[in-house]
Amino acid sequence: MKSEVIDQFVESHGEQYAAISDTIWRYAELGYQERDSSRIHIDNLKVSGFSVREGVAGIPTAFIAEAGSGGPVIGILGEFDALSGLSQSSMAVSCMPSVEIANGNGHGCGHHLLGVSAHLAAVTVKNLLESYGLPGTVRFYGCPAEEGGWGKSFMAREGVFDDLDAALTWHPWTVNAIWNKHTLAVKQAYFRFSGISAHAGYSPHLGRSALDAVELMNVGSNYLREHIIPSARVHYAVTNAGGVAPNVVQPKAEVLYMIRAPRNSDVNEVFERVCNVARGAALMTSCELEIKVHSACSNLVFNDVLNRTMQTNLERFSGTAYREEELAFAASMHRTVRAEELEVAGRDLLSVWKDPKPLFDGVVPLSGERGQIHGSTDVGDVSWITPTAQCFTACFAYGTSAHSWQWVAQGKSSIAHKGMLIAAKTIAGTAMDLMVNPNLLKEARRELERQRGGKPYVCPIPANVEPPLAALVA
């Protein structure tokens, strides 16, 4: 497939899709609450000739848009959720809450770009299939709540990815790259303690403090860290401290734990030990304990065959030329980053980028080195089901960090839009390579089977756990 056709189609629609992305930036809706963000995708996909199935997997904001017919069937994954507490004015070079966004949220991970670029890639593939009279089906998956809600994991549990020949996605970043690295699997659960209220001065001996139980659990879990595998991570947030009156023995308290480890089996082992710590805290305080699993996701299984194919397309479509004002803005953002953050950002790039600048304008070579990313994504569950590849493109100033006000500030910039279009071209080019070369898909499937070691995909979310449609609002 000629790259010029893909390049021209994406560029000709660039302004239209940049405007959609900016609109979703302003919506800044949290996971499972992305009603307007989901709707603008759905409406535009219908205009582009896709048939759309809404409310997938019992999630109101999840949907599947499909075009074409027959095989291969290539899925393109999109996201559109924001993060709580990251309201930030666009293009401001200091931390300054936005006057455009009243809900206090912000797109600190660039999912407004992620979903729209994937959407444009799907439209591009549809156009190419029709223009060249090719068989094949392209699907755009509207995937809610990647940020801790793990919407794709719930969708995977319902089998919506089972008949895909491959899945493609991307993520906004500060460089153009593809990494042969695994992510960490995750399980999240609420630990809810119930005690007995009492007057803290007059009769504290009659009370049983749920807050004490939460604090003891947290202390015990912190001591546990030394005795679990080094690659595991245990995070927590106290979501209910029992009230604001210190003269009341708190009868209710709650803490949300997130446990990460290289594989689901590792996560389950650490999770059970954390549960035992919680049970001990309940015994020590004479409180009742309820453990409620919130969500989970699997580790990412990278695919060499697809990564190589996607790398070829990333190199083909990269090479952004930046204007002086873009370079100046990026330099201003760059100056807001602490030295230690820059050191972390450059750790994996020093061997290939000898002269780091505020904007990355090259492509990181695809390394054969295997590694571990200590973040997590529900793309992992899709990657256990079907061969999956993910690229990263430069949408933000080098050194600025995800989940920060800096990323929100840059989210509507022309720099972000350029990175978004590179990703759309890369995904579309990769999808078309797979459409016209069935041998690539066969090789990718064989590699996935080797990676899985003959084990079938098992969703890490128990069957009785429903999507937490309201849990992420607060």
What's the pLDDT band for 350 if we cut at 50, 70, 90?
A: low
- What's the CATH code, domain 3-182+299-452? 3.40.630.10
The pLDDT score that the predictor gives to residue 372 is 79
The tokens describing 25, both together, are: 């930036």
CATH class (in words) of the domain with range 185-297? alpha beta
Q: How confident is the model at residue 358 (pLDDT cuts 50, 70, 90)?
A: confident
Q: What is the pLDDT of residues 62-100, one digit of tens each?
A: 999 999 999 999 999 999 999 999 999 999 999 999 988
**In the predicted model, what is the mean pLDDT of the chain?**
94
pLDDT over threshold 70, residue 203: yes
Q: Which residues pair with 136 in a beta bridge?
A: 69
Looking at residue 355, its pLDDT comes to: 67
Question: Among residues 8, 1, 31, which one has the least CA distance to residue 188?
Answer: 31
Average pLDDT over residues 27-48: 97
What is the pLDDT confidence band of residue 367, given thresholds at 50, 70 and 90? confident
CA angle 460, 61, 459 (to 5 degrees): 10
Sequence ranges of the domains in the chain: 3-182+299-452, 185-297
Q: Average the pLDDT over 100-112 and give the result.
A: 93
CA 383 vs CA 430, 449, 456: distances in Å: 16, 11, 12
pLDDT > 90 fraction of the chain, expressed in percent and rounded = 86
pTM for this entry: 0.94
d(CA 260, CA 187): 7
Angle among Cα 398, 349, 419 to the nearest 5 degrees reads 45
- What pLDDT band is residue 387 in, cutting at 50, 70 and 90? very high
The answer for 454, left when phi > 0, alpha when psi is -120 to 50, beta otherwise, is left
Are 181 and 376 in contact by the 8 Å Cβ rule? The answer is no
Whether the CA torsion 419, 423, 424, 425 is positive or negative: it is: positive
The pLDDT value given to residue 472: 46
Alpha helical stretches, state H, 299-413: 304-317, 324-334, 339-346, 379-385, 405-410
Neighbours of 158 (CB within 10 A): 14
With residue 68 as reference, give the H or E element that holds it.
strand 63-69
pLDDT band, very low/low/confident/very high, at 59 (cuts 50, 70, 90): very high
Is the distance from CB of 379 to CB of 161 less than 8 angstroms?
A: no
Instruction: Provide mean pLDDT across the span 306-332.
Output: 95
Contacts of 230 (CB under 8 A, 6+ apart): none
Give the pLDDT band of residue 349 (cuts 50, 70, 90).
low
Kindly report, residue by residue over 399-457, the tens digit of the pLDDT. Answer: 899 999 999 999 999 999 999 999 999 999 999 999 999 999 999 999 999 999 888 99
Distances (CA, A) of 463 to 289, 334, 383, 454: 21, 46, 20, 23
